[in-house]
Amino acid sequence: MGTDMTLRSAFAAALMLVTALPVQAQLKVFACEPEWAALVQELVPDAQLTTATSHLQDPHYIEARPSLIAAVRRADIAVCTGASLEAGWLPMLLERASNPDIQSGRPGLFFAADHAQLHAPHDHVDRSMGDVHPEGNPHVHLSPDQLPEIARALARQLGDVDPEAAAAIQGRYIRWRGDWNRLRSEWRDRAEAIEGQSVVVQHSNYLYLLRWLGVDVAADLEPKPGLPPSASHLSGLLAEPGLADASAILVASYQDPQPAEWLAEQTGLPVIVVPGTVTGDASTETLGGLIGEIIGQLESVRSGATHGSL
Amino acid sequence: MYSRVLPFWLAPLAVMAAVNVSANELNPDVSVTLDGYYKQNDTALSHRDQGFGLGHTELSLSAPVDDLFSARLTTVFEEHDGESEVLIEEAYLQTNGLPFALNVRAGRFLSQVGYLNGRHLHEDDFVERPAVYRALLGSHYYDTGARLNALLPTPFFWQVGAEAFAGDQLSEGEEDIGVFTVNTRLGGDISLSQSWQLGLSWLRNRHAKNADTGDGAHDHEEEEDHDHSHGAAYTGEDLYIADLVWKWSPNGNTRDQQLTLSGEYLYADEPNQFAASGDTNEGWYVSGVYQFAPQWSAGLRYGEVDLLEAHGDHFHSQTLEETEVALSWYRSHFSTVRLQYTHQEATGFSNADNTVMVQYVMSLGAHGSHGY
């Protein structure tokens, strides 16, 4: 009889759990890149997040893996960059997952690039130019001026998907926006010291931030956007006149460090390896932290240069 | 509440996205795939003749039709013995996001049985499909029909699907629905750097009983020559396929390095009306492809096939063992140049041989995203 009671109460508990689930259901979010997962986390801290890529992966080249298809199937909203960054895998994920909520034109699909002014859009693009996105440079997550608009649009769209939480999300957006403005004025002050510096880059990942900081691009290790650095292109770079004024080589942690190291050996320039997006480490866990970290790295080569260590 | 938000709205208004919609965007995506090769010697069960030749030249148009439907048309140009042919390989509509993650496809399309069959030929890592695919599926089996797929709401990937086809692309027959298939696929990640997928498929060929039984004449040369790409040269009433794929990349960064191991086993019973209970066609392959740099990959594949060639009321047994080594270079995501060596050992095939092949695959225009 005791067993019977236990069974019955267990059954009742299970029933309560099942009926309670839809009410307590966490918002399930599929983020294409970690930066958007971090932003969602600020706006909906209890969201159940799946992130398709990490800072160690090139977001252009992800496979539409079975685990990602299953994650899109379960999600309430997908938050991605857009502007063709995910063209090689996201359409396949959406097609295979067949999630009726996550389809283009519906609130369940958010593209950050739709809410930003992209740099260098092209009227004419052909493949001989390399992997150029006609919409413009999609790596907009490191733009201190554009992120607020993206976050605002994201907060509104998250609210559309989860109307009950809309007011709370809006409140968190306002708080985030205040923090961001404060950070941005700090970065503005710090930028004065590094303005006018120039760096060698690999791909256009950091372009928005570098332009905002007033840091020039001396050269690109990629011969054409999206093509890996070749030996002939690298040796050609040595003759680049801008190289003499460069203060560092800036590469992302998902990129093969060899080309940068080779150029460093030839030129004596320091190599800065920074994550292209947020990581699990405390200092670069948020987009604000990441931008601060990149500025810090640029500051350190600057002071290194003035001490004549080059 | 919105009054508090208002000040923040002012600045972003200035950077509102300038959406530039041109009439171009209403046109379908056009993609062209050029496939050409040079082959030193003829080989058994091959769809590519020796010398210079064009392989699978594709013109494909695709676009969303409206918010519910997408559609695709793929035509293939092929040349055999100086005669050009235009084939319709795909002409289908597909739903976008039905309730319960159901997915319907109707028209002509590639059957989803097995791992390779649903993929386009230009995505392959070797010049031709494994021998067992060439024999039992005509390299890639496509037909006119309908498909229903469901993705189950499980924490891992689990898809179930069924297809019904006219069946005439596999073997001619009287039935309106000559072929139906059932397929399930499971998959997931083992760690950040490893992922896998398992598939099980069953294809029922109701036309198999009427399959061409040959004329009984013992003229092997004729037999080899009778079919290039339409339908499969060998059949079976029930075809079972098991496939397994495992991929590894350091930190999951597929750009720099990736190792792909895949294998499939195909088993077909009852080749035709004269088949006795033990008469079967079967084969398998295992393939390892290592992309060791962003622009380079090397592949090794071994496969066997055990076949029965119909000769009137009896069969002749045939076997083919094939070892292939391929080296591919990708200038960009859109171009491939491949060097391959194929070694064949056979019984019952007069034209088995070893050969060197050089192939290019060039992709022009829109480039759809690839599957797993």
Q: Tens of pLDDT along A221-262?
A: 999 888 889 899 999 999 888 888 899 999 999 999 999 999
Q: What is the mean pLDDT of chain A?
A: 88
- Mark A55-82 as b/e (b = at least 16 C-beta within 10 Å): bbbbbbbbbbbbbbbbbbbbbbbbbbbb
Assigned domain for A214 exists:
yes
The verdict on a CB contact (< 8 Å) between B17 and A116 is: yes
* pLDDT tens, position by position, A154-175: 999 999 999 999 999 999 999 9
Q: Determine contact: A131 vs chain B, CB below 8 A.
A: yes
Question: What residue of A is the nearest CA neighbor of B96?
Answer: A98
Give percent above pLDDT 90 in chain A: 72
CA dist., res. A149 & res. A309, Å (int): 41
Q: What pLDDT is attached to residue A4?
A: 54
- Contacts with B32 from chain A: Cβ below 8 Å: none
**Alpha helices by DSSP H, chain B:** 2-14, 131-136, 220-225
Q: What is the mean pLDDT of chain B?
A: 87
Residues 14-53 of A with CB under 8 A from B: 53
Q: Is the dihedral of CA A252, B297, A65, B35 positive or negative?
A: positive
* pLDDT tens, position by position, B5-30: 334 333 333 333 333 444 466 789 99
Q: In this structure, what token pair is assigned to residue A140?
A: 């907009």
Distance from CA of B254 to the nearest CA of A (A): 6
Question: What residue of A is the nearest CA neighbor of B12?
Answer: A149
Split at pLDDT 50, 70, 90, the class of B84 is confident
Q: What pLDDT is attached to residue B215?
A: 58
B328 pLDDT higher than 90? yes
Distance from CA of A65 to the nearest CA of B (A): 5
Q: Are residues A35 and A168 in the same domain?
A: yes
DSSP state of A270: P
> Residue ranges of the domains in chain B?
96-365
Q: Are residues A144 and A247 in the same domain?
A: no
Q: Are residues A174 and A37 in the same domain?
A: yes
- Contacts with B196 from chain A: Cβ below 8 Å: 66
Size of interface A-B (CB pairs under 8 A): 159
Which of A96, A205, A258, A279 to mutate to test binding with chain B, by most B CBs within 10 Å of its CB? Answer: A96
A77 compared with B214, residue with greater pLDDT = A77
**Count helices and strands in chain A by DSSP H and E runs:** 10, 8
Q: Are residues A291 and A200 in the same domain?
A: yes
Q: Which of A10-14, B109-113, B320-324 has the lowest mean pLDDT?
A: A10-14
Domain-terminating residue out of A178, A211, A234: A178
The total of structural domains in chain A comes to 2
Residue A37: which H helix or E strand, with range? helix A34-43
Assigned domain for A190 exists:
no
- Contacts with B148 from chain A: Cβ below 8 Å: none
Closest CA to A144 of A172, A181, A169: A181
A128 pLDDT higher than 70? yes
Distance from CA of A51 to the nearest CA of B (A): 12
Residues 234-263 of A with CB under 8 A from B: 254, 256
Strands, E, within chain B: which ranges?
A: 29-39, 51-54, 57-64, 69-80, 83-95, 102-110, 142-151, 157-165, 179-189, 194-205, 238-248, 258-269, 280-293, 296-311, 314-329, 335-347, 355-365
Assigned domain for A189 exists:
no
Assigned domain for A4 exists:
no
Q: Which of B1, B15, B372 is opposite residue A146, by nearest beta carbon?
A: B15
Q: Are residues A30 and A172 in the same domain?
A: yes
Q: Which of B67, B157, B251 is opposite residue A57, by nearest beta carbon?
A: B251
Q: Are residues A205 and A137 in the same domain?
A: no
Q: Which of B18, B186, B369 is opposite residue A87, by nearest beta carbon?
A: B369
Closest CA to B259 of B243, B246, B241: B246
Assigned domain for A9 exists:
no
List the domain range (segments joined by +) for residue A75: 21-178
Question: What residue of A is the nearest CA neighbor of B105?
Answer: A95
Cα-to-chain-centroid distance, residue B362: 18
The verdict on a CB contact (< 8 Å) between B8 and A177 is: yes
Domain-terminating residue out of A178, A210, A229: A178
Domain-terminating residue out of A149, A178, A207: A178
- Contacts with B370 from chain A: Cβ below 8 Å: 63-64, 88-89, 92
Residue A166: which H helix or E strand, with range? helix A166-194
B141 pLDDT higher than 50? yes
Taking a C-beta distance cutoff of 8 angstroms, is the pair A286, A35 a contact?
A: no
Q: What pLDDT is attached to residue A13?
A: 52
Q: What pLDDT is attached to residue B310?
A: 85
Taking a C-beta distance cutoff of 8 angstroms, is the pair B200, B242 a contact?
A: yes
Assigned domain for A276 exists:
yes
* pLDDT tens, position by position, A29-49: 999 999 999 999 999 999 999
Taking a C-beta distance cutoff of 8 angstroms, is the pair A285, A38 a contact?
A: yes
Q: Phi/psi at A81 (nearest 5 deg)? A: -80, -45
Q: Are residues A152 and A39 in the same domain?
A: yes
The verdict on a CB contact (< 8 Å) between A104 and B1 is: no
Q: Are residues A105 and A222 in the same domain?
A: no
Distance from CA of A307 to the nearest CA of B (A): 37
The verdict on a CB contact (< 8 Å) between B372 and A66 is: yes
B320 pLDDT higher than 50? yes
Q: What pLDDT is attached to residue B366?
A: 85
Best-predicted range by mean pLDDT among A290-294, B210-214, B310-314?
A290-294
Q: Which of A101, A113, A174 is opposite residue B4, by nearest beta carbon?
A: A174
Taking a C-beta distance cutoff of 8 angstroms, is the pair B91, B108 a contact?
A: yes
Q: Are residues A25 and A118 in the same domain?
A: yes
Q: Are residues A199 and A121 in the same domain?
A: no
Q: What pLDDT is attached to residue B197?
A: 98
Taking a C-beta distance cutoff of 8 angstroms, is the pair A55, A103 a contact?
A: no
The verdict on a CB contact (< 8 Å) between A254 and B157 is: no
Residue A49, domain CATH: 3.40.50.1980
A300 pLDDT higher than 80? yes
Assigned domain for A260 exists:
yes
- Contacts with B292 from chain A: Cβ below 8 Å: none
Assigned domain for A207 exists:
yes
- Contacts with B33 from chain A: Cβ below 8 Å: none
Q: Class of the B96-365 domain?
A: mainly beta
What type of residue sits at position A40?
A: V
Q: What pLDDT is attached to residue A24?
A: 52
Q: What pLDDT is attached to residue A17?
A: 47
The verdict on a CB contact (< 8 Å) between B151 and A97 is: yes
B47 pLDDT higher than 80? yes
Q: Determine contact: A179 vs chain B, CB below 8 A.
A: no
B158 pLDDT higher than 90? yes
CA dist., res. A85 & res. A138, Å (int): 6
